[in-house]
Amino acid sequence: MKASDLFVRCLEQEGVEYIFGVPGEENADIMMSLLDSPIEFVVCRHEQGAAFIADIYGRLTGKPGVCLGTLGPGATNLLTGVADANMDRAPLIVLTGQGSTSRLHKESHQAMDVVSMFRPVVKWTTTIANADTIPEIIRKAFHLAQTEKPGAVHIELSEDIAKHRSLVSPLVVASTSQPEPNAGEIAKAAELLRSAEFPLILAGNGVLRARATDQLVALCEATGMPVANTFMGKGAIPQSHPNCLYTVGLSARDVVTLAIEEADVVLAIGYDLVEYHPKLWNRGRPKQVISIDALAAEVDAHFAPVVDIPGDITKSLEHLLSVIGDEVLVNREQFASYRETMQQEFEQYADDTGFPVKPQRILSDVRKALGPDDILLSDVGAHKMWIGRYYQCEGPNTCMISNGFCSMGFALPGAIGAKLSFPDRKALAICGDGGFMMNVQELETAVRLKLPMVILIWTDSQYGLIRWKQEAQFGKNSHIDFENPDFVKLAEAFGAIGKRVESADQLPGILAEALEADGPVVIDCPVNYDENMKLSRRLGEIPAATRSHWLKQTDLFSGCGSDSLEVISSFMEERSYQAGASICEEGVDGSEVFLLVDGEAEVQASGEDQAGPISLGPGACFGEMAILADQPRSATVVAGENGAQTLVLDGGVFREAVLKQPTIGMELLETLSKRLADKTA
Ligand code: CMP
């Protein structure tokens, strides 16, 4: 058999339904072999679009999505979508052509080392050097792409090898099972959960991949434990379930993060660190972590599980439940207020009639317009932050987000992948005007395939997320403005339907009509992003409780009662120092007290008696002596090699608080006298 025919037979054997791609000269033999195959080749308008379609097809079906491009520019165009799939654990096979092996050793048309280029963004990459290896290579590629943790695999076929002949046949496809969890570790996890005061579950994308929703719900119903999910873990537990604490990931100080702050034991299930840095929910590392995942836990200073249970997530949850039984570990009163606060927030602007439309209103209307099984695809931009926080799901895989690699331009092609995976479910892509234009060409693919899907553009003529981040960090913005084409006319030029929202109250009607259309509909919806900074400021207000919690962990304030802590924390402001920066200097008058929230600091006191610098870690408090004793700084304090994030309290305010509430002074006295004793020893 001709090698390209064998190649296509092997893909058929793996159950491939579609290949998404752009044909090229050097993969022409494969394209010819596909003419005699039941595999449908979906012609795309850019390789990046093809890779995103395959990415979503893989995530939704659990079967590898397949994308194809030629050598050189075809391969480089595929790269972003492939990296996205790999980082978000989507099974994906990427096929590229290559020039003849007789010309790859020299300067030659479009030739470059594509295998090396893909290496950092795939689980495995290879070229086919001998036609007889095709069955093994394709079997291995599909096996690797699908086994935990799933990801992308790249195969290259040179134009000359595609013409070779081979007598071998496709291999039989075998399924692999996940290892059983270790019973001893399950027992340890149960013990730790039983001894916890407030254990909480953090559910990630792995729960969805393992199809372990029922087991997770059974565990939290038996034990009462609440579940917070990551952006990609939406639907791990239904949003209507009273134990669902909704989504974490937007900010280190969101309502749900406060619940995590309160937890002493966190049971992380199918959690990928790339989604939500553990530093953001385990500041100062006070929590005991249990990890249940397909593989052993990733190493991170802020995520060091005391019990690590790799294996089949479904079985791990079943075993854990059978060991714990119906033992109630948490009462609903311990977390009900977090859920209620979030519910109030979801409702707050649900009927707002302001124009441009507030993000909260748009998402409320979208949630009402889509059924529980319909699929929302979020592109990357400011809208993604809103979707992450405000859009909740009843079931798994009903909100698809690019979260690890965070690639703009993902949602429009993603909606094509969703419709091809589940034709009976509605698909709605939310894009910013920036991301929409990055893969707008795939609108032609959607029109050609007659796919009923909706693209809702949140228009602000800016890179809105960058503006949000710049303003939060610098208080101003730089180079974020652009102009848009007329999106209604643009949609019509592609043969799609175009609609424009001109008042908030039009949106529900336009959405309902668009979701019933029999082809793609583009909706241009002006968005009011003044809400972005308001949300940042509001989330910035939340931490009074978090700050009290952190203060309580410090040596200095640990003796203070909750009233004192509330007073002190309400006056604190955040400040970051780069590695080596001086935070306070010996001999200089000081006016501030510092609480080290993250990173390290070093106390460097001069004087012959000093034993050497003293290292301070998260939770340490310093700079109080100059304020309370009304004398210059007793030592220099510099930020450690990872920098230092601090909460700063103005000394005047601190002293006033102590005067007004003498208990604060009394409570602090013990620690202070110890420090003074150390200093003068
Ligand atoms: P202050 O003197 O205001 O500024 C320097 C700070 O370094 C000081 O307050 C203390 O918070 C801290 N510091 C000085 N000596 C010690 C010590 N022996 N142990 C821990 N911290 C110290």
Q: Is the pLDDT of residue 246 over 60?
A: yes
Indicate whether residue 651 lines ligand 1 (CB < 6 A): no
Average pLDDT rounded to a whole number, residues 424-429 = 98
pLDDT category of residue 544 using cuts at 50, 70 and 90: low
The per-residue pLDDT of the chain, averaged, comes to 92
In a domain, 175, yes or no: no
Indicate whether residue 412 lines ligand 1 (CB < 6 A): no
User: Which ligand 1 atom sits nearest the alpha carbon of residue 627?
Assistant: 3
User: Which ligand 1 atom sits nearest the alpha carbon of residue 626?
Assistant: 3
pLDDT category of residue 542 using cuts at 50, 70 and 90: very low
Distance 262 CA to ligand 1 centre (A): 29
Average pLDDT rounded to a whole number, residues 256-270 = 92
Taking only the tens place, the pLDDT of each residue in 608-628 is 666 688 999 877 888 988 887
* CATH code where residue 24 lies: 3.40.50.970
Indicate whether residue 65 lines ligand 1 (CB < 6 A): no
Which domain-ending residue is among 519, 535, 551? 535
Minimal-distance CA residue to ligand 1 atom 17: 675
Distance (Å, rounded) from C-alpha 208 to C-alpha 269? Answer: 10
* pLDDT value of position 446: 98
195: tokens are 């001894």
Same domain, 510 and 429: yes
pLDDT category of residue 375 using cuts at 50, 70 and 90: very high
Q: Is the pLDDT of residue 681 over 70?
A: no
* CATH code where residue 229 lies: 3.40.50.1220
Average pLDDT rounded to a whole number, residues 459-475 = 85
Same domain, 211 and 272: yes
Indicate whether residue 624 lines ligand 1 (CB < 6 A): yes
Q: Residue 426's closest CA among 383, 497, 462, 374?
A: 374
Same domain, 465 and 522: yes
Q: Residue 591's CB: how many other CB atoms inside 10 A?
A: 15
Same domain, 356 and 318: no
Indicate whether residue 311 lines ligand 1 (CB < 6 A): no
* pLDDT value of position 537: 64
Least confident of 162-166, 394-398, 531-535: 531-535
Q: Is the pLDDT of residue 287 over 70?
A: yes
Which domain-ending residue is among 132, 163, 194? 163
Indicate whether residue 388 lines ligand 1 (CB < 6 A): no
Q: Is the pLDDT of residue 5 over 60?
A: yes
Same domain, 399 and 523: yes
Distance 653 CA to ligand 1 centre (A): 19
Ligand 1, from 582, 591, 594, 603: best to mutate by most atoms within 8 Å of Cβ?
A: 603
Distance 680 CA to ligand 1 centre (A): 12
Distance (Å, rounded) from C-alpha 424 to C-alpha 191? Answer: 45
In a domain, 170, yes or no: no
Average pLDDT rounded to a whole number, residues 246-254 = 82
Q: Is the pLDDT of residue 79 over 50?
A: yes
In a domain, 352, yes or no: yes
Cα-based angle 608, 609, 611 (whole degrees, multiple of 5) = 105
Indicate whether residue 586 lines ligand 1 (CB < 6 A): no
Same domain, 518 and 556: no
User: Which ligand 1 atom sits nearest the alpha carbon of residue 593?
Assistant: 3
Residue 371 burial (C-beta neighbours within 10 Å; 0-12, 13-18, 19+)? exposed
Same domain, 49 and 77: yes
Distance 648 CA to ligand 1 centre (A): 15
Indicate whether residue 675 lines ligand 1 (CB < 6 A): yes
* pLDDT value of position 678: 66
Indicate whether residue 593 lines ligand 1 (CB < 6 A): no
Same domain, 227 and 257: yes
Same domain, 514 and 381: yes
Q: Residue 58's closest CA among 21, 96, 115, 20?
A: 20
Dihedrals phi, psi of 258, to nearest 5 degrees: -65, -35
Indicate whether residue 592 lines ligand 1 (CB < 6 A): no
User: What are the residues whose beta carbons fall under 8 Å from the beta carbon of 109, sequence distance 6 or more?
Assistant: 99, 103
Range of the domain at 549: 542-680
* pLDDT value of position 180: 93
In a domain, 342, yes or no: no
Cα-based angle 505, 507, 508 (whole degrees, multiple of 5) = 90
Same domain, 150 and 240: no
Taking only the tens place, the pLDDT of each residue in 184-207 is 999 999 999 999 999 999 999 999
In a domain, 314, yes or no: yes
Distance 603 CA to ligand 1 centre (A): 7
User: What are the residues whose beta carbons fall under 8 Å from the beta carbon of 475, sequence distance 6 or more?
Assistant: none
Indicate whether residue 635 lines ligand 1 (CB < 6 A): yes
350 versus 468: the higher-pLDDT residue is: 350
Average pLDDT rounded to a whole number, residues 439-452 = 98
User: Which ligand 1 atom sits nearest the alpha carbon of residue 678?
Assistant: 18
In a domain, 338, yes or no: no
In a domain, 428, yes or no: yes
Q: Is the pLDDT of residue 122 over 90?
A: yes
Indicate whether residue 603 lines ligand 1 (CB < 6 A): yes
Ligand 1, from 675, 676, 678, 679: best to mutate by most atoms within 8 Å of Cβ?
A: 675
Same domain, 524 and 576: no
Ligand 1, from 555, 637, 671: best to mutate by most atoms within 8 Å of Cβ?
A: 637
Average pLDDT rounded to a whole number, residues 456-462 = 97
Q: Residue 425's closest CA among 150, 82, 48, 56?
A: 56
Distance 540 CA to ligand 1 centre (A): 29
Distance 605 CA to ligand 1 centre (A): 8
pLDDT category of residue 647 using cuts at 50, 70 and 90: confident
pLDDT category of residue 469 using cuts at 50, 70 and 90: confident
* pLDDT value of position 606: 81
Q: Is the pLDDT of residue 655 over 90?
A: no
Contact criterion met (CB below 8 Å) for 3 and 164:
yes
Taking only the tens place, the pLDDT of each residue in 20-75 is 999 999 999 999 999 999 999 999 999 999 999 999 999 999 999 999 999 999 99
* pLDDT value of position 556: 72
Distance 634 CA to ligand 1 centre (A): 6
pLDDT category of residue 643 using cuts at 50, 70 and 90: confident
Q: Is the dihedral of CA 551, 556, 561, 566 positive or negative?
A: negative
Distance (Å, rounded) from C-alpha 7 to C-alpha 169? Answer: 10
Average pLDDT rounded to a whole number, residues 265-290 = 90
Count of the separate structural domains present in the chain: 4
* CATH code where residue 570 lies: 2.60.120.10
Indicate whether residue 590 lines ligand 1 (CB < 6 A): yes
Same domain, 206 and 245: yes
* DSSP assignment letter at 681: -
pLDDT category of residue 252 using cuts at 50, 70 and 90: low
* pLDDT value of position 617: 85
Indicate whether residue 678 lines ligand 1 (CB < 6 A): yes
In a domain, 245, yes or no: yes
Distance 278 CA to ligand 1 centre (A): 29
Average pLDDT rounded to a whole number, residues 416-444 = 98
